[in-house]
């Protein structure tokens, strides 16, 4: 049985990842793929517990290093228990955020830099990288307005200011520029139907490439 493919979806708060995940899953399943849908941080019992620690607002700020290490601890469990077994079964894994988010949020947002994240990436993942990463790009102010419009209290990340999210957005765009073969960038500031259309066309083109054996 051939190994499955690993697809990740990235974007700041309010970019519309939940809607996009459903559309991408639908495209893959219509193409005959068995899809394992998951998220980070999360995806396992331990990962979901870590997620609560990371998102819960607190009067005592968390060290950026602690935040990064918690992310990668959850990721190590996720890879071992969910992602790698699914890929070995020939399933296609669709993940809401992965290590690109650590480069963006902890590396740039928390200003830890890329070297520390790269060292953790290599230790936890080895050679494993996503086959495709879709970035839903959105100006931070627009994303934060959307997130606030969902109602409910803001989580620890949503409570950050626009400058924090601007660093994150730029880090994502820099990664797209540095590795264009893996990334596809979608303008998430468009009307919903235009975003849906771009996502659908992106997935169809990429699936066609995979079927033809082109990178």
User: Any idea what the CATH number is for the domain that residue 16 is in?
Assistant: 3.40.50.300
Is the residue at 51 inside a domain?
yes
pTM greater than 0.85 (yes/no): yes
Integer distance in angstroms from the first to the last C-alpha of the chain? 20
Is the residue at 176 inside a domain?
yes
- Given a cut of 90, is residue 175 above it in pLDDT? yes
Q: Is 84 exposed, middle or buried (0-12, 13-18, 19+ CB in 10 A)?
A: middle
Angle separating helix axes 114-125 and 64-78, nearest 10 degrees: 20
Residues near 83 by beta carbon (within 8 Å), at least 6 away in sequence: 6, 36, 38, 43, 93, 95
**Mean pLDDT across 75-102:** 98
Is the residue at 177 inside a domain?
yes
What are the φ and ψ backbone dihedral angles of 131, each rounded to 5 degrees?
-80, -30
Q: Give dist(CA 26, CA 28) in Å, integer.
A: 5
Is the residue at 95 inside a domain?
yes
Is the residue at 30 inside a domain?
yes
Encode 46-76 in three state secondary structure: HHHHHHHHHHCCCCCCCCHHHHHHHHHHHHH
Is the residue at 182 inside a domain?
yes
- Full domain range(s) for residue 168: 6-212
Question: In this structure, are residues 21 and 94 in contact, taking their beta carbons and an 8 Å threshold?
Answer: yes
Residue 208: both structure tokens together:
């066609």
Is the residue at 154 inside a domain?
yes
Q: Is 50 exposed, middle or buried (0-12, 13-18, 19+ CB in 10 A)?
A: buried
Is the residue at 1 inside a domain?
no
Question: How many domains would you assign to the chain?
Answer: 1
- Given a cut of 70, is residue 47 above it in pLDDT? yes
pLDDT per residue over 146-162, tens digit each? 888 877 787 889 888 88
């Amino acid at each position: 049985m051939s190994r499955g493919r690993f697809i990740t979806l990235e974007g700041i708060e309010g970019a519309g990842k939940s809607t996009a995940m459903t559309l991408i899953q639908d495209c893959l399943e219509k193409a005959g793929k068995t899809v394992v849908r998951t998220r980070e941080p999360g995806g396992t019992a331990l990962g979901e517990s870590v997620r609560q620690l990371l998102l819960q607002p607190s009067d005592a700020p968390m060290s950026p290093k602690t935040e990064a290490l918690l992310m990668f601890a959850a990721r190590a469990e996720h890879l071992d228990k969910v992602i790698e077994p699914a890929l070995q079964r020939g399933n296609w894994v669709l993940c809401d955020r992965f290590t690109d988010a650590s480069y963006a949020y902890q590396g740039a947002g928390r200003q830890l830099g890329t070297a520390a994240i790269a060292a953790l990436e290599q230790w936890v993942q080895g050679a494993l990288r996503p086959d495709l990463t879709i970035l839903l790009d959105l100006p931070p102010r627009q994303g934060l307005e959307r997130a606030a419009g969902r109602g409910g209290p803001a989580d620890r990340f949503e409570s950050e200011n626009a400058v924090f999210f601007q660093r994150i957005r730029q880090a994502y765009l820099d990664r797209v520029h540095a590795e264009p073969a893996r990334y596809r960038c979608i303008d998430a500031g468009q009307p919903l139907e235009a975003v849906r259309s771009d996502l659908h066309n992106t997935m169809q083109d990429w699936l066609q490439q995979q079927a033809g054996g082109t990178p």
